[in-house]
Structure 1
Amino acid sequence: MNSVAIMINSRAVTASVEPRTSLADFLRDERDLTGTHLGCEHGVCGACTVLLDGVPARSCITFAVTCDGAEITTIEGLDDDEISIELRAAFTREHALQCGYCTPGMLVSARDLVKRLPDADEQAIRVGMSGNLCRCTGYVGIVNAVKSVIAARRGRDIAAEPDAGRKLLGPVGSGHAASAGSANPADAIAAPSAAVIAPLLIPDFTPSTILEQSFTVAHPPAKVFAMFGDIAAVASCLPGASLTGTPAPERVEGAIRVRVGPISANFNGAARVESDAATRSGRIIGVGSDQRSRSQTQGEIRYRLLPVEQGAATRVDLSIGYSLTGMLAQVGRSGLVRDLATRLIAEFAGNLDRLLSGDSRAIAPAAELNGISLIFGLLRQRAVGFVRRLSGRDGSAS
């Protein structure tokens, strides 16, 4: 059991919780705040959304122990909130609820949009609300309700707050732990030191999905390991990846652009790099977020280099783990991701081999990782394989 001190709906709460207890279970079972609903319990449906340090967060995938020192606001704590009062009236007026199960999470997310969006843009509202699912309404009434509240408030000259309390990159609520004994966690958020930020932004985690892949390059392990130590060179081999600052092993800042059909995402984030020369192995662990889709990801790549062909070549064994939340998690089917990862790693291996060979025809990775082109490539591969198998069977029959 761990002791936590949390502000819940402006009331100080001290309690003992098990490390595995989710914030949603703690709020419902220990505090009787049953307005926070549980739906998918995978961070997808949004029914459990609460405010964590003023920012919407999925309470079903947030551990209660990580909220020590944070401020939590549930739907019950928004009874007298001005924006929430307007939203409740608009939801009623626009028939934006039916069974009501998703409504608490809808209202919390809608409140955030009302604060942040400069005008009642329907597309921006639909993207912003896409992480909250409803089986009843068809969303038209919900969108109209949010539009009407934004339009009314901007008409009263109530300006938008573009960041709406967001002062630190990283998981929502993560800034509260930077206080180091300060009575006011906001003081630490306003001026965090680099030494404090790094471990908060790039924490260890347990991946929800792990993929195992291998490839071979025709270069000795020592040369490949040295290349893996050149962060900028490695990034240049990865389609869609770019660095946004001077890389260092303890902190690498960058971005990766992804497009799958009409969905485009630009994940910005940071990573740390670890390596062990004795075993020619290493790990890259990072976090990133895409503001447009409100999706977040954590990722970990473990690699190990093994000599093959009497040391003239190297087999690279990869273990890729990741967790994805938000809108993109709804299209991130494991089979599709596995196939895309296979093609992505093949492109990375080819670029790495050309770079190690000094081939200046060059490494020209795509400006963004295009999932559709990878999918068509996979379909072509599978079609060729099917035809070959069919031809083989025909040949054996004759």
Structure 2
Amino acid sequence: MKVLAIDDQKLVLIPLENRLKELGYEVLTETNATKGIESYESFKPDLVIVDINMPLVSGMEVVKHIRKTKNSSTPIMVLSGNTDDNMITEGFDLGINDYMKKPLSLVEVCARVKRLIGAPVIANNVITNNGVIIQQRCVGVVIPCYNEEERLLSNEFTDFIVKNSGYHLCFVNDGSKDNTLEVLNNLRKGREDFITVYDCEKNGGKAEAVRQGMLFMAKKEDLDYIGFLDADLSTDLTDFDDLVSTIENSNYKIVSGSRISRMGANITKESARKIISLTINFIIRKILKMDFKDTQCGAKIFHKDVIEISFADKFVTQWIFDVEIFRRITLHFGLKKAKEILCEQPLKRWIHADGSKLSMKDSVKIVGQLGQIAWFYRGNKKNVKKESYSSNEATSFSLNKLKKA
């Protein structure tokens, strides 16, 4: 039995294709509706699974082609994040057989496939990775790594991408001196569609590693949102996914995690570090003119249309580039608009990880760097980009050309 699946996001198609093949179906996937229509003619599927919202040619055109142009009764299942009642009604009027709203369980999708066209004669009863969710959005996550050989929780990353379709992890090796690069390349083996490893030959600092990773991921057309996360998973991936849910269901352009101690949350910090954090936060609020509780949390998610604004230019500081991001957004949009598109979301869990590379002495230096930010971004937004380039050229982080591992 043949299944043709059409969706513009490859990260959604891969787990669907794998599971249907496990069940014994012959599967062909297309990420372009026009090619999907061409494949329908040559592949002659027993079932077509199609997304509605695709660029240039929509999934509804695929339905019209099958039902009206070809006058065919081939079963059609729609998997879509589009919940518009008129669209759903139009689909059934055209003759679709099923309409499923993302996010949804892959197990349910396969059960409905069986209901529509039956199970293959030679079916595979050994099914792996139950509990996979097909999301309605695709997310890129940049994870900077410097000497993380001992702390990199590989299983947590791989288990998450297996259970959650639509995630692509980009590990940036920031010139590590240990075997971090080898660990990352082993992590990527067999998961090339979901994991990218970038290697910086020399250490340039977290700020530049994140910046390069964010700009690279922004080039991937099938990603809706891109964020960054610390390699030690002091903020876990489930909490990060909560940040993603917030940005996809709102008008926010940036959602930043916040390590605020509150009832029902597991937030741990060293007491001395907490005192310094409060002092630094007071200064940051004065600089940004915003009531941020925690700008430095290493978990943030961005809408793609603010990536260029936030990361096009090198950062002035090494450790508090998060403050620079918010300052750039303020200068670009104005303070009022910036407050409307920035969101600070409390985390359910944040655990201080042993081996943090930021010492207490470094924390004190941050106060000086905040003064540097206040001075550097004092001008109007028209002068920021030009000034940023010349200043950063003079204070190069010596990051060699980033290359794909």
Q: TM-score, normalised by structure 1?
A: 0.24
Greater RCO structure (CA 8 Å; 6+ sep): 2
The answer to which structure has the higher strand fraction is 1
The answer to which structure has the higher helix fraction is 2
